[in-house]
Structure 1
Amino acid sequence: MKGIILAGGSGTRLSPSTDSMNKHLLPVFDKPMIYYPLSVLMLAGLKEIMIISTSEDTPRFKKLLGDGKELGITLAYREQTEPKGIPEALTIAEDFIEDDNVTLMLGDNIFYGQGFTTTLRNAIKNHRHATIFGYRVKDPHRFGVVEFDHHKKVLSLEEKPDDPKSDFAVTGLYIYDHRAVQIAKKLQPSARGELEITDLNKEYLKWNHLDVELLGRGFAWMDAGTQQSLFEASEFVKTTQQRQGFKIACLEEIAFYMNYISKEALYEKGKSMEKNDYGQYLIEIAERKHSEQYWDSIDHHPMLGVVEND
């Protein structure tokens, strides 16, 4: 399984903040937005991940994250010359995906919740052809909506319907088999001139090859693509971290917990940032790994859960 993060786009909804900066590099409280989707793919157990962004911003992501070696993973990069829709990410990454399955995630989506890692890993383990994730929202007419029966069989997909058939939105997290690349190549642009991810998912639905995983109570899903939602996401992360004492989407902590990096590497990374709270947190984790208290708490970490390493 390969991983892809689509972090391109023009970020017009966040202008003027994004007039000189990619929105996925904006902070969501104490870390760049890109950390959140990257943490999801790492928690899923994926070690080969591609970040797709603009030609102007790709060097900035490389400067921030490098080749992934410090996290014990492999990061690759590709450029999207202009925003032509989510499915284009699959065609851009064709040589990266090859014959593998792929998990595609939008760079401005943030997931949080007890057991999320288990849910995601089970979805990947039981994956057949295509899997989407549904989340109950108050205003489904603003989203792509998935309708399903009591067996969770997908019945229909609608893009921003006036009269939604369910109140479950389709989130920006998708799992596909290798056929997704060829399907994406055959899609035609919509009226707004872009390839639509709903159209790709509908192709799988035609063959009865589309599954849905529902994120129920206890989960939070945020799309930090507007000024209001970005502020709310930052407030959520700040409040949750202060109350629980854990950091959300701390890439080094995840890499350490999953045995991708050593305690010494974690400690040194913390020392390089010891004048701020993030660095002090890494040092604390490094010094607590072998204590019973640490392992008791980490087993109940909402964004780590009980992860079995492959």
Structure 2
Amino acid sequence: MKAVILAGGSGTRLYPVTISVNKHFLPIYNKPMIYYPLSLVMLLGIKEVLFIVNPSDIESFKKLFGNGSHLGMNIKYTIQEKPNGLAEGLVLAEDFIGNDNICYMLGDNIFYGHDLVRIMKDAKKEIETGGGAYVFGYYVKDPERFGIVEFDEEGNVKSIEEKPKNPKSNYAVVGMYFYDNRAVEIAKNVRPSERGELEITSVNEKYLKDGKLKVKLLGRGFAWFDAGTHDSFLEAGEFVATIEKKTGLMVGCIEEIAFNNGWITKEELIKLAEPLRKTEYGKYLMELAKKP
């Protein structure tokens, strides 16, 4: 399985902050927003990652991540000329994906919760063994802002609808999707919605029609932030700060994950920490390297 992280878009919901800065570089507490989805991909053991970015931001992304070799990864980039919808990301990633299955992440979505990685690994395994699509639902107060999934009395998925005026439930489909290789061809056949975008909901609808869509609800004990609005952005930062201060452990620390995965050595970890030695982030990495 390969990972594709959509990190383009214009970030208009965060204007004027994002007029000159890509939102994915903004700090969620002590690290760039984009670290969080990348960290989950790494926790799944996926080394091959494609970032889909704006033309004006590709050099900044390369400056931040390079080719990923410092993390023991293989990172590539492709350009999305305009924000034409989430499904377009799958089309743009076609050559990178090849014959593999896909973990598709939105760069401004942040997740946290007990057993989250195990649940993601279960989704990955299910796609690898049985194909189809595996997505996640989360209860929201403002369902008209999201893709919404409806269930029948037995808990089976009944319908899925993008930003409905009259929502049939309060369960939003969050920005983390697992697909078999068919997703690329499905996305290529998606027609623009009334908003003029290629909706990821249309991809999910096709899998639902084929009886190959599974939706798992993330209930109590899970936190999800769509950090593309001012309020959610602030809430995400405060949440991460609270967790880290209470536990003494970092959330979304990509160098730590690379080290724990055995992708980089202790010496390589120290080398990454050295330029950051005056920060709490750098000190954290140095302490990690000292542990037996």
Same fold (TM over 0.5): yes
Partner of 1:200: 203
Q: Report how far residue 151 of structure 1 moved.
A: 5.6
Cα distance in 2, alignment partners of residues 151 and 103 from structure 1 = 28
Partner of 2:136: 133
Partner of 1:270: 273
Is structure 2 residue 235 aligned with structure 1 residue 235? no
Cα distance in 2, alignment partners of residues 148 and 270 from structure 1 = 48
Q: Is the 8 A contact 1:85 1:197 kept in 2?
A: yes
Partner of 1:7: 7
Partner of 1:284: 287
Gaps of 5+ in 2: none
Q: How many residues align?
A: 289
Q: Report how far residue 139 of structure 1 moved.
A: 2.5
Partner of 1:18: 18
- CA 1:267–1:150 in 2, change beyond 3 Å: closer, same or farther? farther
Aligned-residue CA RMSD (Å): 1.2
Partner of 1:60: 60
Cα distance in 2, alignment partners of residues 43 and 151 from structure 1 = 33
Runs (4 or more) in structure 1 with deviation over 3 Å come to: 149-152
For residue 79 of structure 1, what is the amino acid of its counterpart? I
Query: Which of 257, 261, 269 does residue 260 from structure 2 map onto?
Result: 257
For residue 137 of structure 1, what is the amino acid of its counterpart? V
Cα distance in 1, alignment partners of residues 238 and 271 from structure 2 = 29
Instruction: Give the fraction of aligned pairs with identical amino acids, expressed as a percent.
Output: 54
Q: Report how far residue 150 of structure 1 moved.
A: 6.1
Helix, strand or coil at the partner of 1:88:
helix
Partner of 2:212: 209
Partner of 2:72: 72
1:10-62 per-position Cα deviation (integer Å, ceiling 9, x unaligned) = 11111111111111111111111110110111111111000000111011000
Cα distance in 1, alignment partners of residues 203 and 113 from structure 2 = 28
Partner of 2:40: 40
1:196-250 per-position Cα deviation (integer Å, ceiling 9, x unaligned) = 1111110111111111122121110001001111111111111111111111100
Q: Is the 8 A contact 1:4 1:50 kept in 2?
A: yes
Helix, strand or coil at the partner of 1:272:
helix
Query: Which of 177, 181, 188 does residue 180 from structure 2 map onto?
Result: 177
Q: Is the 8 A contact 1:2 1:49 kept in 2?
A: yes
Partner of 1:188: 191
Cα distance in 1, alignment partners of residues 241 and 41 from structure 2 = 22
For residue 65 of structure 1, what is the amino acid of its counterpart? F
For residue 38 of structure 1, what is the amino acid of its counterpart? L
For residue 270 of structure 1, what is the amino acid of its counterpart? A
| Mapping for residues 157-168 of structure 1, pairs under 5 Å | 157-168=160-171
Q: Report how far residue 152 of structure 1 moved.
A: 4.4
Gaps of 5+ in 1: 291-310
Residue range with higher mean Cα deviation, 269-278 or 53-62: 269-278
Helix, strand or coil at the partner of 1:18:
helix
Greater per-residue helix proportion: 2
Q: Is the 8 A contact 1:252 1:266 kept in 2?
A: yes
Q: Is the 8 A contact 1:45 1:121 kept in 2?
A: no
Cα distance in 1, alignment partners of residues 70 and 140 from structure 2 = 37
Cα distance in 1, alignment partners of residues 218 and 166 from structure 2 = 22
Partner of 2:151: 148
Q: Report how far residue 149 of structure 1 moved.
A: 4.1
